[in-house]
Each structure stands twice: as structure tokens, then as C-alpha cells.
Amino acid sequence: MTMKTFTSGWAFQKPDQNYFKKFLHLNRIAIDGIVYPKKLLADIEGIPVLGFDDAQVAITSEDQVLDLSTNSEVRKELDAFFVAQGIERVSVPDFLDRLITQDEHDALLLPVADIKASDIRYLKSAASPGPFDTHFLDAESYETASKLDGIFRHSMWHQFIEFDRDDTPGNVLFNVLLDLQTRDLLKHVRVLDTPRVFLDAILKLKLHVPKATVKVSVSDAAFTDLHGRAEFYRRSLGDCIVPFDGAGAAQPEHTILLAGSIDPILAASSHSSLLSAICFMPRSIVDYVALTNAFGERQYRLLLRQPDTGAHNLLAAIITPALFRA
């Protein structure tokens, strides 16, 4: 007999719960029924709804029931029903954790792009971020890393709701640039890729701080990505634009690299002195671990900001001692 999967309650459209439903969809995991005390609807999102009478017949001891109920009153009734039936429910984190542990060949598709089950297993084997880790720039950076570590380490994807702050990646990026400008640390930035979000933030900075003298170098590839908008940014930035030296050219110590992922940052740091950088971490805490492993004992401070419930929007600012010597 094939094991069926039922749920006790359901995850409605909330940002933190969409990760679980996306996981089900990506891996074609079917839900055979949603159990509620009464069958008020025929189905929810195409999944049959079962009242207690139907559930008694449909669910066998060979099946699994995932606990998704969030309504306290309904949950009491569901608890009493499943206890009376002798059916033990499985929490979503435990269900996910079991699948990730068993996925030796990285066959699972996780809801955050480019994260594999082996990445999560490696994360679980590594030490969690600590409050006294010397590379965190401030308390919020540690708290962000710690929360994300717990979410991915223990498959607690529902806790992404804690980042539902009604903010945007662009606004968080602007605030980071503004803080560096206020401290007179924003002198020269190199846009390596993902140009629009960075150039929009720089233009916003110039509107707020007209006297800002930051110089901006944009790679040819980044300008190409702008398509028809390239000329708009050239004109808007005006004299701020300076030539983009090749990858092998030595960069001034006050240069800050801007990139949409950690990959070009790690590549640049592997064959030169460590430069300051601002980048997104699309693989969230997995990228954080990769970055700290690559940088080792080199001196730097790391600012982390999670603007919303999108795991791929984690923003990092890497501040090196050289930035203060420039």
C-alpha cells in the first residue's frame, strides 16, 4: 500500500508559509487531503477537504499527517481528534528535515534557488554564528545571521515571517550607502553586475546628498545588462562616472565592489588584497558560510540586513581596514 500524505489544517497565503508550498510544488509532492473538524469546502487550492467523519475512513496507520494548523480554536479540535485516532502528526520542520537528511544525491529542489540538501547538511555540521564572532559589524548583523542560520539549519521556514518588515532591497541598500557616505567612506564604487539596483540607489543618494563626490565605475557587462537604460544612467551620473579598469588592475584601497552575488567578491579576494564590498547573498546563510570560510582570519567586518521575507534578498556589506586608511 502506498503511503498517502494528509495535513491537519492548511497553510494559507502568508509569506512565511509559501516556502513550504513552493517546496511541495517543486518536488511534486501530492497532498491527499486536508483535515478540518467540518467539511465547509469541497477543496482548498484543489486539495480535497476532509471532515472528521471522512478522515476516519481515509487515513490509515500507514499514512503520514503533517501538522499545519495555526488557528488555536481549530487546533484544539484537531488535537483531540488525532489523539483519539491514535495518529501521531509530523511537524513541517521535522518532515522537511527528514527529507533533507535522506537526500544523499541532491535530488530535492529547495525553495531557495541554488541551495541543495548537501548545503543544508553542511550548515548543520558547522558552528552556529555566535554573538562574540569578531566579524559582525553590529548586533543586528549577528541577529540576522543567527535567525537565518536557525531557519535553514532546522527547516523552520515559517520563521521568515519575522522579516516581514515592509521594506525593500533597494531601500536597505540606499541606507547602507548613506551610512558609508555620512562616515566619509564612500569614495569609489565598482559596479560589477546587477547594475540597476545599485545605480538606482546611487542616484537616490545623490538626490539626498547633492554634495556627495562618490566616483562610479561600471563594467561593460553591467552596462550591457542595462540595455536601453544605459544612456539614462550615464547622463544622470554625469561626472561621477569614471573608467572601469580591467579585472587584473590594482584597485585603490577605498574602492567598494558592488555585486549581485558573492561569486565575483570571492574571485576578486582570491588573488588580491581584500577589498570592501556590498553584495546580495541569493543563497542566504549558505552564502554567508561560504564567505566566512573563504575570508578565514583576514580582517574585515560584516554588516547583514534582511529587508523582507525573500531569502534571496539578504544584503551584505564587507568593510575592511583599508577603507579607513584611504
pLDDT digits (tens, 9 = 90+) for 116-157: 999 999 999 999 998 888 899 999 999 999 999 999 999 999
Give yes or no: residues 151 and 83 share one domain. Answer: no
CA distance 156 to 179: 32
CA distance 282 to 134: 24
Point out the domain boundary residue: 73, 102, 131. 102
Residue 94 CB-half CA count within 13 A: 9
Residue 291 maps to which CATH number?
Answer: 3.40.50.150
Point out the domain boundary residue: 81, 102, 123. 102
Instruction: Assess if residue 132 is contained within a domain.
Output: no
Q: Which residue has the cell 490509515?
A: 60
Structural domain for 52, as ranges: 5-102
Instruction: Assess if residue 154 is contained within a domain.
Output: yes
Give yes or no: residues 10 and 93 share one domain. Answer: yes
Give yes or no: residues 320 and 192 share one domain. Answer: yes
Residue 29 maps to which CATH number?
Answer: 3.40.50
CA distance 58 to 165: 41
Asked if residue 67 lies in contact with residue 6, where contact means CB atoms within 8 angstroms, the answer is: no
Give yes or no: residues 160 and 19 share one domain. Answer: no
Give yes or no: residues 292 and 147 share one domain. Answer: yes
Instruction: Assess if residue 131 is contained within a domain.
Output: no
Instruction: Assess if residue 121 is contained within a domain.
Output: no
Give yes or no: residues 87 and 186 share one domain. Answer: no
Instruction: Retrieve residue 130's grid coordinates.
Output: 555566535
Give yes or no: residues 146 and 279 share one domain. Answer: yes
Give yes or no: residues 94 and 207 share one domain. Answer: no
Instruction: Assess if residue 114 is contained within a domain.
Output: no
Asked if residue 257 lies in contact with residue 279, where contact means CB atoms within 8 angstroms, the answer is: yes
Give yes or no: residues 95 and 228 share one domain. Answer: no
The pLDDT, as a whole number, for residue 134 is 81
Number of domains in the chain: 2
Instruction: Assess if residue 311 is contained within a domain.
Output: yes
Give 77: exposed, middle or buried? Use CB within 10 Å, 0-12, 13-18, 19+. middle
Give yes or no: residues 143 and 46 share one domain. Answer: no
The pLDDT, as a whole number, for residue 17 is 56
Give yes or no: residues 97 and 231 share one domain. Answer: no
Q: 3-state SS of the chain?
A: CCCCEEEECCCCCCCCCHHHHHHHHHCCCCCCEEECCCCCCCEECCEEEECHHHHHHHCCCCCEEEECCCCHHHHHHHHHHHHHHCCCCEEHHHHHHHHHHHCCCCCCCCCCCCCCHHHHHHHHHCCCCCCCCCCECCHHHHHHHHHHHHHHHCCCHHHHHHHCCCCCHHHHHHHHHHHHHHCCCCCEEEECCCHHHHHHHHHHHHHHCCCCCCEEEECHHHHHHCHHHHHHHHHHHHHHECCCCCCCCCCCCCEEEEECCCHHHHHHHHCCCCCEEEEEECCCHHHHHHHHHHHCCCCCEEEEECCCCCHHHEEEEEECHHHHHC
The pLDDT, as a whole number, for residue 274 is 85
CA angle 312, 131, 260 (to 5 degrees): 20
Point out the domain boundary residue: 47, 82, 102. 102
Give yes or no: residues 94 and 143 share one domain. Answer: no
Instruction: Assess if residue 277 is contained within a domain.
Output: yes
Asked if residue 151 lies in contact with residue 310, where contact means CB atoms within 8 angstroms, the answer is: no
- Spans in the chain with pLDDT lower than 70: 1, 13-17, 246-250, 271-272, 326
Q: What is the C-alpha R_g of the chain?
A: 24
CA distance 97 to 153: 9
Instruction: Assess if residue 216 is contained within a domain.
Output: yes
